[in-house]
Amino acid sequence: MDNKKNYIKGVIDIGTNSCRLFLAEIEKKGTEISIKKKLYKETQITRLGKYINPDSSIQAEGMKIVTEIIKKYVKTAKEYKTNEIIGFATSATREALNRDIFLKKIFDETGVSVKCISGEEEAHITFAGAVTEFSDDIVLFDIGGGSTEIILGNKNKIEYLKSFKAGAVRESETFFKNDNYSRKDECMKNLKERMKEISQLKDKNFTLVGVAGTITTNVSVKEKMVHYDSSKVHGYKLTKEDLENNLNKFLSVNLEERKKITGLQPQRAETAISGTIIILAIMELLNKEEVIVSECDNLEGAMVNL
């Protein structure tokens, strides 16, 4: 791509809960690259984390689901005359015993080379994607299916960065199997214990920012969005009370009824409770009453950093 000033680039994110595609026009000036125009985004729920065996290997069915989605993404990318496609994989894949077999399968069947990134790398690229819109310090959290990244910093430096093994799918599988939500208080207590070190940040001056599907879904539910509107979600301020109201709404019905809640994708119904509890645990540990929601995350960060 060195000989091109502007080109179309695609990024595919293979997460524990979803597989996402982002296409953008890239502007290159010397060694610096930036996003000139966002062209296309798509998310497919895969629940890859549910296809993990006790020995931490990914089941063939899980591999197949993800690979088939990537095939469709490659087709979409070609329609946009994409010059380059890169992929990165996070928590479920990096912990998998057979991750090399999985990544080889993806490459052999789709031609997409996927890099398995560490939790720390994931935090860095997520922060890079979101921080550009804030002039002062932020604490950013990115709740995935298998991990949660928390970063304090600004455009110039990162002061604190940690990836926790706490995610919407992971907590759902641990505490809320078979649509039983009697352990919600235990889940909250357990999360706060595992992430308690972030309480050291609570006295600092910062804006709390949240990215990824768990937090954006909470906006969609609060606003009763029949059709998801990213322009309305981006920059939205969610209060702790908003999140508690959503959580109570999720808890008041069974899984099948939860799938019918306006603004909640049916595929996210199973992890809505665990994900919202993670947000509330973070807010309590940081002593914050509101969070700003950003649509810019590791896809934007990967676009210019991977």
76-116 per-position pLDDT tens digit = 999 999 999 999 999 899 999 999 999 999 999 999 999 99
End-to-end alpha carbon distance in the chain: 13
Note the pLDDT tens digit of each residue in 136-163: 999 999 999 989 999 999 999 999 999 9
Q: What is the pLDDT of residue 29?
A: 85
Q: At residue 194, does pLDDT exceed 50?
A: yes
Average confidence (pLDDT) over 165-182: 90
Q: At residue 253, does pLDDT exceed 80?
A: yes
Average confidence (pLDDT) over 192-199: 97
Q: What is the pLDDT of residue 171?
A: 94
For every residue of 265-288, which 3-state class applies, written as one string? CHHHCCCHHHHHHHHHHHHHHHCC
Strand-strand pairing, 84-89 and 6-14 = parallel
| Domains of the chain and any CATH numbers | 6-116 (3.30.420.40), 131-299 (3.30.420.150)
Closest residue by Cα to residue 303 from 153, 142, 82: 82
Which amino acid appears at position 302 of this protein? Answer: A
Is the four-CA dihedral 84, 19, 280, 52 of positive or negative sign?
Answer: negative
Q: At residue 3, does pLDDT exceed 80?
A: no
Q: What is the pLDDT of residue 5?
A: 81
Average confidence (pLDDT) over 214-242: 96
Q: At residue 17, does pLDDT exceed 60?
A: yes
Q: What is the pLDDT of residue 4?
A: 55
Do residues 238 and 212 touch, judged by C-beta distance below 8 A? Answer: no
> pTM (2 decimals)?
0.87
To the nearest whole number, what is the mean pLDDT of the chain?
94
Q: At residue 1, does pLDDT exceed 50?
A: no
Residue labelled with tokens 């595919």: 12
Note the pLDDT tens digit of each residue in 119-133: 889 999 999 989 988
Angle at 57 between CA 54 and CA 62, to 5 degrees: 105
Instruction: List, as one string, the DSSP characters of the chain.
Output: -TT-SEEEEEEEEE-SSEEEEEEEEEEEETTEEEEEEEEEEEEEE--GGGGB-TTSPBPHHHHHHHHHHHHHHHHHHHHTT-SEEEEEE-HHHHT-TTHHHHHHHHHHHH---EEE--HHHHHHHHHHHHGGG-SS-EEEEEE-SS-EEEEEE-SS-EEEEEEES--HHHHHHHH-GGG--TTHHHHHHHHHHHTGGGGGGTTS--EEEEESHHHHHHHHHHTT-SS--HHHHTTPEEEHHHHHHHHHHHHTS-HHHHTTSTTS-GGGTTTHHHHHHHHHHHHHHHT-SEEEE-S-SHHHHHHHH-
Q: What is the pLDDT of residue 201?
A: 97
Rounded Cα–Cα distance for residues 7 and 27 (Å): 7
Average confidence (pLDDT) over 258-263: 96
Average confidence (pLDDT) over 210-232: 95
Angle at 26 between CA 145 and CA 118, to 5 degrees: 30
**Rounded alpha-carbon distances, angstroms, from residue 182 to 187, 190, 255:** 10, 14, 14
Q: At residue 179, does pLDDT exceed 90?
A: no
- Helix 272-286 and helix 213-222: axis angle, to 10°? 100
Rounded Cα–Cα distance for residues 85 and 303 (Å): 10
Give the number of residues written for the chain. 306
Rounded Cα–Cα distance for residues 20 and 246 (Å): 25
Q: What is the pLDDT of residue 60?
A: 97
Percent of the chain with pLDDT over 70: 99
pLDDT bracket for residue 42 (50, 70, 90): very high
